[in-house]
Amino acid sequence: MTLIHKPLNRRSILKAGTAGGVALATPTIFTSSAWSAPYLNEPTGAEVTLGFNVPQTGAYADEGADELRAYQLAVKHLNGEGDGGMLNTFSSKALGGNGVNGKKVAFVTGDTQTKSDAARASAKRMIEKDGAIMITGGSSSGVAIAVQSLCQEAGVIFMAGLTHSNDTTGKDRRANGFRHFFNTEMTGAALAPVLKNAMGTDRKAYHLTADYTWGWSQEGSIKKYTEALGWDTVAAVRTPLGAGDFSQYLTPVLNSGADVLILNHYGKDMVNSLTQAVQFGLRDKMVNGKKFEIVVPLFSRLMAQGAGDAIKGIFGSTNWHWSLQDEGSKAFVKSFGQEYGFPPSQAAQTCYAQTILYADAAQRAGTFEPCAVAAALEGYDFDGLGNGPTHYRAADHQCFKDVLVVKGKENPSSQFDLLEVVEITPRAQVEYAPDMEDVKGDLGTCNNGA
Amino acid sequence: MDEILLQFLNGLDKGGAYALIALGLTLIFGTLGVVNFAHGALFMLGAFCAVSFNLLLSLQKVTVDPTKTTAWGTPLEVRTPYVEAYLGDFGHWILNYSVPVSILLAIPVMLLIGFAMERGLIKHFYTRPHADQILVTFGLAIVLQEIVKSIYGANPIPQVAPDVVSGAADIGAMLGLGAGVIVYPWWRMVYLLFSLVVIAIVFAFLQFTTFGMVVRAGMADRETVGLLGINIERRFTIVFAIAAVVAGLAGVMYTPILPPDYHMGMDFLVLSFVVVVVGGMGSLTGAVSAGFLLGILQSFASMNEVKAIFPGIDQIIIYLVAVVILLVRPRGLMGRKGVMEN
């Protein structure tokens, strides 16, 4: 049996060739990308999919839940539902509440479990299976750095959520990664002058540090700035992440001669170590003729809730707080509060801002092509997202804005009113050179996954 | 000197918790011959007895204050716990003492859970290999965890110690060493005392009651005790329930130290197995002494002077000791011949 019944001739070969050519060209003739460079996960339907990768379990689950709420609210506002939130106060007016580039915004979510491998697996799933064009999320610098490098290799944009280590936009910076949140270098620069006023220049500090990238970065920055004030560092002790009982690390503090304890912990670790430090009577102690003090460099209201009364009078820094009275913050608190019944956390604000910033950049670029979106974000100046005038620096993809120094409130008026803003440190005071010794790195080149 | 005293006290306090958890574990192993990987989950369930009791007490009456508004424009809600609203000062007192009072709830609940676990699942695995027992109990632990997670969420729920014992005690001043030299939290000392009392009660129960005598006889030679016409199985069921209560109470009292979440049992499970192995499988005195020994060693290993010589020793000391003990005394410190050897 033969497959060709008719004898081959010039005419039938020509016919078959034309038909084959048309068939091969069809998928690209009718799609818009036929005439532009293709890129990974280019949205072809009526929707564009974003991937929200947050910790839904594990040590940072509280933050993760609030991040997800903010993302969902941002998507609503982008699609024209709700009251528009900070879209109304945002300095760029490119977005009109009708999606982005004419496409409705949809999203998929993943659970990072606050573990790098789980976070990479869920980001990979969202990129490969769900066709996510952008990944965002965080709540742990270790996770953010791991996911950022995955997005760089895959060729999608990564908009970092809550990640505070210098390394995210320092030595591990990537061309496809962007961070709105502040970092430990800025915390050090903002906190030091306030600590000097409140505690003087003759102090002996004892650090307890979460043993991973963020902890090391935080410890380094605080040491650098407090030692410049004239403080001594008595000891810097590393504690395993998720240690639970910190008592064996707290007992050596008691008779170390230190008069300040700096807790470079975040999330559940910070709740446990601060609560236990207070139980050990550290706050009632007098050392070297001075009142013993505790400092928590990175604060959040969610943590303050978990630590209860232990937080009162303790200094720290934060990216944003719901009591701010600028138009952007007020609009965000109003729409978040009406939606969920309580005010947003700093994690929620940075995630909301990052989603809006990505959507705005894509709208201004007129495409979702990652490198075009990145170019639209680089060097961009904006206002109205809650932190005052902000600059997205092109050299390291780090946002520069004012930093808040806060203190645990002595007489809270409600269960949410736990932190008071002591000082708003102006942007100029926390700026640093992108090639500074502790933070220099190589951005590399943008990858669109084609 | 004060540092060493302080670290010793901390070691005793940590050891109290380890001993309490390991005690129940080794009790189950010694009597039933079952390796119970769900023991950590029992500790966690105990802690959530305290959480549930507190939540029950804190059920709030919500009234709306129309004169005040929130930052997002809705009227301010004022919340007062029902207990306080109806019982006044006594309500306030019981809220303050919710952790110790919840022991009264935890005992019957844990007895019931222990009973149901043994009758419903574990008894079917007595004659099966240890690997099967480990698999089924580990699976059970995961199921219990997920149930707690679905009810209470994934986040830790802080519990407070009563006001009287919430601060720190100046032990240095009490011992005449000078004020502020040795300061230790009251609640941790309460926990140490509590663990010693519970351990003493369990030992006394096994040592001085007829029931305890039969159980000990059963541990030594199950078959002969059975031939004497004693229903040893029923007694062992009760022993399992008692072990569940011990683990549960350890969990209840631990809540002011560590805000409980669904995963807290797993963190303690590995540690308590190391304690049991170091102490000797099936030996009650071994488990208790190993608990205190490892607590103290862990505490001393965290001293900066020690870490300056051996960096990172604080994180591996427990496992290092386990390796050394198993090399030198393969049956553990007080292990009996023939346990887990056939």
**What is the model's pLDDT at position B267?**
80
- Type of residue at B229: G
Find the mean pLDDT for residues A54-72.
86
Domain extent for A102: 47-182+322-400
- Residue A19: pLDDT band with limits 50, 70, 90: low
Does residue A439 carry a pLDDT above 90?
A: no
**A327 with A384: CB under 8 angstroms?**
yes
Give domain status of residue A217, yes or no: yes
Q: Averaged over B162-172, what is the pLDDT?
A: 83
Whether residue A247 and residue B71 make contact (CB cut-off 8 A), yes or no, is: no
Q: What is the pLDDT of residues B236-266, one digit of tens each?
A: 899 999 999 999 999 999 999 888 888 888 8
In a domain, A134, yes or no: yes
Same domain, A267 and A354: no
Tell me what ipTM this predicted complex has: 0.84
- Do residues A108 and A161 both lie within one domain? yes
Query: How confident is residue A28, by pLDDT bands cut at 50, 70 and 90?
Result: very low
pLDDT at B327 over 70: yes
Contact (CB<8Å) B188/A247: yes
Interchain pair A248, B188: CB under 8 A = no
pLDDT of residue A27: 47
One domain for residues A307 and A339: no
In a domain, A161, yes or no: yes
Q: Please tell me the predicted confidence (pLDDT) of residue A294.
A: 94
Sign of the alpha-carbon dihedral angle for B229, B230, B232, B238: positive
Percent of chain A with pLDDT over 70: 91
Q: Which residues contact B125 (CB under 8 A, 6 or more apart)?
A: B34, B132, B133, B136
214-243 of A, contacting B, C-beta below 8 A? 235, 237, 240, 242
User: Which H or E element spans position A307?
Assistant: helix A301-307
pLDDT exceeds cutoff 70 at B8: yes
pTM of the predicted structure, to 2 decimals: 0.83
CB proximity list for A102: less than 8 A, separation 6 or greater: none
Going by pLDDT thresholds of 50, 70 and 90, the confidence category of residue B338 is low
A60, A178: one domain: yes
pLDDT of A3 strictly over 80: no
Q: Distance, in angstroms, between A216 CA and closest chain B CA?
A: 15
Cα separation, A275 vs A265, in Å, equals 12
Instruction: Identify the three-state secondary structure at position A110.
Output: strand
Identify residue B197 by its one-letter amino acid code: V
Using the 3D structure, point to which of A318, A341, A362 is the last residue of a domain. Answer: A318
Does the pLDDT at position A382 exceed 50?
Answer: yes
Q: Identify whether A429 is part of a domain.
A: no
Is the model's pLDDT at A237 over the cut of 50? yes
The answer, yes or no, to whether residue B177 has pLDDT greater than 90, is no
The whole-angstrom distance between B280's CA and the closest CA on chain A is 26
Residue B189 · residue B164 · CB < 8 Å: no
Domain end (from A363, A385, A400): A400
Average pLDDT over residues B68-88: 77
The confidence score (pLDDT) of residue B339 equals: 61
- A322 contacts in B (CB within 8 Å)? 71
* CB–CB contact B6 A235 (8 Å): no
B-chain CB neighbours of A338 within 8 Å are 72-74
Instruction: Say if A245 is an interface residue toward chain B (CB within 8 Å).
Output: yes
Q: Are residues A259 and A280 in the same domain?
A: yes
pLDDT in tens, A29-41: 444 444 455 899 9
| Cα angle A139, A145, A146; round to 5 | 100
- Does residue A255 lie within any of the structural domains? yes
Name which of A61, A333, A338 is nearest B154 (Cβ-Cβ).
A61
Q: Is residue A426 part of a domain?
A: no
Same domain membership, residue A361 and residue A388: yes
Amino acid type, B211 = F
> What pLDDT is stored for residue A4 in this prediction?
44
**Closest chain B residue to A344 measured between Cα atoms?**
B72
Nearest to B241 by CA among B31, B57, B74: B31
CB-based burial of residue B51 (10 Å sphere; 0-12 exposed, 13-18 middle, 19+ buried)?
A: buried
Residues A306 and A384 in one domain: no
Output the six-digit token pair for A34.
């036929």
Residue B55, C-beta contacts closer than 8 angstroms, at least 6 positions apart: none
In this structure, of A42-56, B38-52, B222-236, the range with the lowest mean pLDDT score is B222-236
Report the distance separating Cα A44 and Cα A350, nearest Å: 29
Q: Which residue has the tokens 């084609």?
A: A450
> Contact A448/A370 with Cβ under 8 angstroms?
yes
Token output for B259: 């805000």
Q: Can you tell me the mean pLDDT for B281-298?
A: 90
Co-location of A269 and A306 in the same domain: yes
Which amino acid is present at B74? T
**Of B318, B274, B260, B325, the residue nearest B11 (C-alpha):** B318
Find the residue in A nearest to B12 (Cα): A248
Question: Where among A318, A336, A355 does a domain terminate?
Answer: A318
Q: What is the largest CA-CA distance in chain B?
A: 78
Contact B286, B335 (CB under 8 A): yes
What pLDDT, on a 0 to 100 scale, did the predictor assign at position A405?
95
82-141 of B, contacting A, C-beta below 8 A: none
Q: Is residue A355 part of a domain?
A: yes
Name the E strands within A88-187: 104-111, 134-137, 157-160, 177-179
Angle, helix A267-279 to helix A247-254, in steps of 10 degrees: 50
| Contact between B71 and A343 using a beta-carbon 8 Å cutoff | yes
DSSP per position, A33-78: GGGS---TT---SSEEEEEEEE-SSSTTHHHHHHHHHHHHHHHHHH
B157 pLDDT more than 90: no
pLDDT in tens, A267-309: 888 888 998 998 888 888 888 889 999 999 998 777 777 777 7
pLDDT at position A18 is 61
| Number of independent structural domains in chain A | 2
Q: What percent of chain A has pLDDT over 90?
A: 68
Query: Is the Cβ–Cβ distance between B232 and B225 less than 8 Å?
Result: yes
> Which residue(s) pair with A398 in the sheet?
A179
- The answer, yes or no, to whether residue A114 has pLDDT greater than 60, is yes
User: What is the rounded average pLDDT for all residues in chain B?
Assistant: 87
* Amino acid letter, residue A364: R
Cβ-based contacts of B153 with chain A (< 8 Å): 61
Say whether both A56 and A166 belong to one domain.
yes
DSSP reduced 3-state for B110: helix
Task: State the CATH number of the domain containing residue A175.
Answer: 3.40.50.2300
- Please list, in sequence order, all residues whose beta carbon lies within 8 angstroms of the beta carbon of residue B110, skipping any fewer than 6 positions away: B42, B45, B46, B49, B241, B244, B245, B247, B248, B249
**Same structural domain, A313 and A359:** no
pLDDT value at position A173?
95
Whether residue A346 has pLDDT greater than 70: yes
Digit-coded pLDDT (tens) for B298-326? 999 988 888 888 888 888 899 999 999 99
**A40 is a domain residue:** no
Q: Is the pLDDT of residue A177 over 90?
A: yes
Contact between A306 and B156 using a beta-carbon 8 Å cutoff? yes
